[in-house]
A and B are shown apart, each in its own frame.
Chain A
Amino acid sequence: MNRLFILFTALILCSPTIKAVEPEEVLRDPKLEERARALSKGLRCLVCQNQSIDDSDANLARDLRILVREKLKSGDSDEEIIKYVVSRYGDFVLLKPPLNKSTFILWMGPVIIFIFGLIMVLFYMMRMRHAKKAIPLTEEEKNRLTSIRELR
């Protein structure tokens, strides 16, 4: 029941058809606004499934967008803002998970998978090269070959 309730509220809060950034949120300075948009694309709406706060209409996302913009206006750097948001909501808020102990496999996975695949391919090619080397004929086969030749 609890899960259903969460799902239900998530669906209502994040109805995907209602839009995100509202005109009155937009900052005057286009450079700051551009940074605000870039930052909000990397921050997750905490009550939604897989939506950035840039795309989400949830109130919480709106609060976060405004927070990001307030911080930008007061002159904070992008890193400082991210750090602040993470300190409040944890790593979960980052759509690009940071590299640490719990995400090590996630980030290294692609490399490991590729290298594993590459080794398999090389192994296959080597085995094929060995298979290509002619196996010397046995004594019996040699005799048969000569007899066939003599016949011709």
Chain B
Amino acid sequence: MIAETGQFTLVLALIVAIVQGTLPLAGSVKNNIRLMALGSTSATSLFLCVLVSFGCLIQAFIVSDFSVFNVAQNSHTQKPLLYKISGVWGNHEGSMLLWVTILTLFGASVAAFGKNLPESLKARVLSIQGLISASFISFILFTSNPFLRLDPAPVEGQGLNPILQDPGLAFHPPFLYIGYVGFSIVFSFAVAALIEGRIDPAWARWVRPWTLAAWCSLTIGIALGSWWAYYELGWGGWWFWDPVENASLIPWLIGTALLHSAIVVEKRDALKSWTILLAILTFSMSLLGTFLVRSGILTSVHTFATDPERGVFILLLLILISGSALILYALRASLILPGGVFSPISREAALIFNNLLLTTGAAVVLLGTLYPLLLDALYGAKVSVGPPFYNATFLPIMAPVLVACVIGSMLRWKRADLAGVLGRLKVATLTALLVVLTIIWATGSGDVLVALALGVSAWIIIGTMVQVSERINLFKFPLSKSLSRARNLPRAFWGMVISHSALGILVIGITISSAWRVEFIKLMKAGDTVSAGGYTLTFAGTLPIVGPNYTGIQGQFRVERNGKEITVLLPEKRSYPAERNRTTEAGILSTISGDLYTVLGEMSENGEWSTRIYFNPMINWIWIGAILMAFGGLISLTDRRLHIRLLEKFSKEANGNAA
């Protein structure tokens, strides 16, 4: 019954989505209020239908209903509950259903929170959202149905790939999808604005919270994914320039550009046409990412589907959705009147520079990802594009972004004084120089690039602090007055401060952990010791272990610092009988100054164990930086000016009381 209910509600959802995709749009053309109002109702019902359907699939996984093909393929009775549930999106069909659930959740949120939107705009946005939903629901129903039955039902399921059975990976896809799919709202707003032929600062203000929410989520999703790769894949790497990682980085880069260009539309009524284009591109890149991962033309840990039919279907959807939006853009962009003018030295121009670099960076990653595929398809020639390519091309493009982000956010709108800003940044410049020189001196001039990268990080962090101290008149007024000024600064400003400083923290983490990593690859027997990162590790031998759905061997490393035992690290080698698969769990001591990372290998003939011990200095700063960056976005999301709705509500209530 569960599967049939899920299937039925999904079919129902398709019908509702088609209604949502057509009638409100027709209403907005004919100026029919009742048809337009249908948008909100259908968006809410659509979400409920899909939610029930998704709930049915989760239930089938929880109770291990192996008469459902998808459950039998991807679950197992002995799996812990968390991984039974996360197994729902650990496979192609289920993850597409999660994708659509989030898509419709966003549609329903526009219906719920968009009370201040003009009726016609809201109707159009919801209709476009409905059309996107309809296409993806049909994709699921016609090519990737998760509710197919299996007869006879097997007694036991085949289990989930054990490396996916991990808390980091249980939450990685939902966050990533909220990010990808969240950009669909921005896309719908952009297309609606093109249909209306009108875009103004109010539009940017409506769009900004959605952009921010999607961007924060995507940031967290990418951070979780790389953190998972770091501790689970067992050699301490955290970013591989894998095509599937690139597929999430590209929308993130363009989304970041969009976040910044939307500010210009909002504050200065300029860059409108470009912002619309970015909004379309961001979601198109999310779709492209979905296509690359789902079509199976790229093979990696992430790809589940290798059915060419699905690939063709998604490619068609991509062409249909992005293509029609781009054609609309080409036809209507000229209607968008250019707004405020500005000089080449101004906040606007700095944000254009930011956009130029971020989009170029995204284009380079896209080129590197697609090039091997294109070359193979066109000429049958094989080429590998690996990390050295991206280090040589992507990093130089991103470096100026780091330097410019401090200066840009201090420039005034319209026309600014660059020399003045640089003068105000004296402290930051001097600190940065000091950092560079100290590191060159301390490392014996070996690591000029490392020194420069750390200097730039110091520049970002100190420069951002200079901005704060200027805004609150630190040291000019009594401290209490400065603090009260700090409280009254807009949340968007604090969001910028946190996110920009976080960028500095991220760069510090990346630079130090990759430049000064210490590595030991050794055969060890019980009693052997290794010193790394100020710790002394003593190998104390191995023990057999038994987990809920695996058995394995656990190595024991006693960790001492200054003669005192701090902890025992327990790297494991696990063997999952149900999935017929093995995993390696690293034993990690994680601190703010660095991670001690131990991996147990094979036992050699004479009873010694092959082990790997790494000290990864300051590697956690990477994820702290990424999470802080998302946190800055959330703070910005709570900015008062984005909550016109609440203000209106209050004023209405006040009026009501007066009457």
6 more CB-based (< 8 A) A-B contacts, given A15-B582, A90-B382, A102-B375 = A4-B306, A24-B610, A44-B384, A97-B384, A110-B364, A121-B353
Among B242, B364, B386, max chain A CB count under 10 A is at B386
Q: DSSP class of A's interface residues: helix, strand, loop or mixed?
A: helix
Question: Are the C-beta atoms of A17 and B233 separated by less than 8 Å?
Answer: yes
Whether B522 sits at the interface, judged by CB under 8 Å, is yes
Q: Chain B contacts of A114 at CB under 8 A?
A: 356, 360, 397
**Can you identify 17 A-B contacts, CB atoms within 8 angstroms?**
A15-B582, A16-B234, A17-B232, A22-B601, A23-B523, A24-B604, A95-B389, A97-B383, A106-B371, A109-B367, A113-B364, A121-B353, A121-B356, A125-B344, A128-B341, A131-B338, A132-B341
The CA-CA distance from A151 to B648 in the complex, in Å, is: 41
Q: Chain B contacts of A118 at CB under 8 A?
A: 356
- Pick the contact of A106 from B241, B342, B368, B599 — CB < 8 Å? B368
Whether A143 sits at the interface, judged by CB under 8 Å, is no
Question: Are the C-beta atoms of A23 and B388 separated by less than 8 Å?
Answer: no
Q: Chain A contacts of B344 at CB under 8 A?
A: 125
State the 8 A-B residue pairs at the shortest beta-carbon distance, nearest first: A95-B386, A96-B388, A92-B382, A23-B523, A110-B393, A110-B364, A17-B584, A109-B367
Question: Are the C-beta atoms of B521 and A26 separated by less than 8 Å?
Answer: yes
What 0/1 readout, one digit per residue, does chain A (119-150) give for beta carbons within 8 Å of chain B? 00100110110011000000000000000000
Question: Are the C-beta atoms of A102 and B234 separated by less than 8 Å?
Answer: no
Place the interface of chain A in its size category.
35 or more
Question: Are the C-beta atoms of A110 and B299 separated by less than 8 Å?
Answer: no
Question: Are the C-beta atoms of A93 and B384 separated by less than 8 Å?
Answer: yes
Q: Which of A1-44 contact B (CB under 8 A)?
A: 3-4, 7, 10, 15-24, 26, 41-42, 44
Separation in Å of the A83 CB from the closest CB of chain B?
A: 17
Q: Chain B contacts of A7 at CB under 8 A?
A: 299, 306
The CA-CA distance from A144 to B602 in the complex, in Å, is: 92
- Pick the contact of A102 from B301, B359, B379, B610 — CB < 8 Å? B379
The CA-CA distance from A107 to B388 in the complex, in Å, is: 12
The CA-CA distance from A125 to B581 in the complex, in Å, is: 59
Closest Cβ neighbor of A12 among chain B residues: B581
Q: Which of B372-392 contact A (CB under 8 A)?
A: 375, 379, 381-389, 392
- Pick the contact of B381 from A42, A93, A102 — CB < 8 Å? A102
Question: Are the C-beta atoms of B341 and A3 separated by less than 8 Å?
Answer: no
Whether A103 sits at the interface, judged by CB under 8 Å, is yes
Question: Are the C-beta atoms of B306 and A3 separated by less than 8 Å?
Answer: yes
Whether B240 sits at the interface, judged by CB under 8 Å, is yes
Question: Are the C-beta atoms of A22 and B397 separated by less than 8 Å?
Answer: no
Given A18-B584, A50-B300, does the pair A103, B383 have CB atoms closer than 8 Å?
Answer: yes
Closest Cβ neighbor of B611 among chain A residues: A23
Closest Cβ neighbor of A20 among chain B residues: B235
Question: Are the C-beta atoms of A19 and B382 separated by less than 8 Å?
Answer: no
Whether A117 sits at the interface, judged by CB under 8 Å, is yes
Q: Chain A contacts of B367 at CB under 8 A?
A: 106, 109-110, 113
The CA-CA distance from A97 to B384 in the complex, in Å, is: 6
Separation in Å of the A27 CB from the closest CB of chain B?
A: 11
The CA-CA distance from A37 to B485 in the complex, in Å, is: 54
Q: Which of B237-292 contact A (CB under 8 A)?
A: 237, 240-243
Whether B496 sits at the interface, judged by CB under 8 Å, is no
Whether B73 sits at the interface, judged by CB under 8 Å, is no
Separation in Å of the B241 CB from the closest CB of chain A?
A: 7
The CA-CA distance from A105 to B375 in the complex, in Å, is: 10
Whether B431 sits at the interface, judged by CB under 8 Å, is no
A interface with B by C-beta (< 8 Å): 3-4, 7, 10, 15-24, 26, 41-42, 44, 49-52, 55, 90-97, 102-103, 105-107, 109-110, 113-114, 117-118, 121, 124-125, 127-128, 131-132
- Pick the contact of B601 from A19, A90, A117 — CB < 8 Å? A19
Closest Cβ neighbor of A127 among chain B residues: B338
Q: Chain B contacts of A3 at CB under 8 A?
A: 306
Whether B401 sits at the interface, judged by CB under 8 Å, is no
Question: Are the C-beta atoms of B341 and A95 separated by less than 8 Å?
Answer: no
The CA-CA distance from A10 to B306 in the complex, in Å, is: 14
Closest Cβ neighbor of B612 among chain A residues: A19
Q: Chain A contacts of B360 at CB under 8 A?
A: 110, 113-114, 117
- Pick the contact of A121 from B235, B243, B352 — CB < 8 Å? B352
Closest Cβ neighbor of A122 among chain B residues: B344
Separation in Å of the A16 CB from the closest CB of chain B?
A: 5
Q: Chain B contacts of A22 at CB under 8 A?
A: 521, 601-602, 610
Q: Chain A contacts of B437 at CB under 8 A?
A: none
Separation in Å of the A12 CB from the closest CB of chain B?
A: 10
Whether B526 sits at the interface, judged by CB under 8 Å, is no
Separation in Å of the B546 CB from the closest CB of chain A?
A: 19
Separation in Å of the B522 CB from the closest CB of chain A?
A: 5
Closest Cβ neighbor of A26 among chain B residues: B521
The CA-CA distance from A26 to B58 in the complex, in Å, is: 48
The CA-CA distance from A103 to B374 in the complex, in Å, is: 11
Q: Chain A contacts of B397 at CB under 8 A?
A: 110, 114
Whether B138 sits at the interface, judged by CB under 8 Å, is no
Question: Are the C-beta atoms of A95 and B387 separated by less than 8 Å?
Answer: yes
- Pick the contact of A50 from B243, B341, B359, B382 — CB < 8 Å? B243
The CA-CA distance from A127 to B274 in the complex, in Å, is: 15
The CA-CA distance from A132 to B360 in the complex, in Å, is: 29
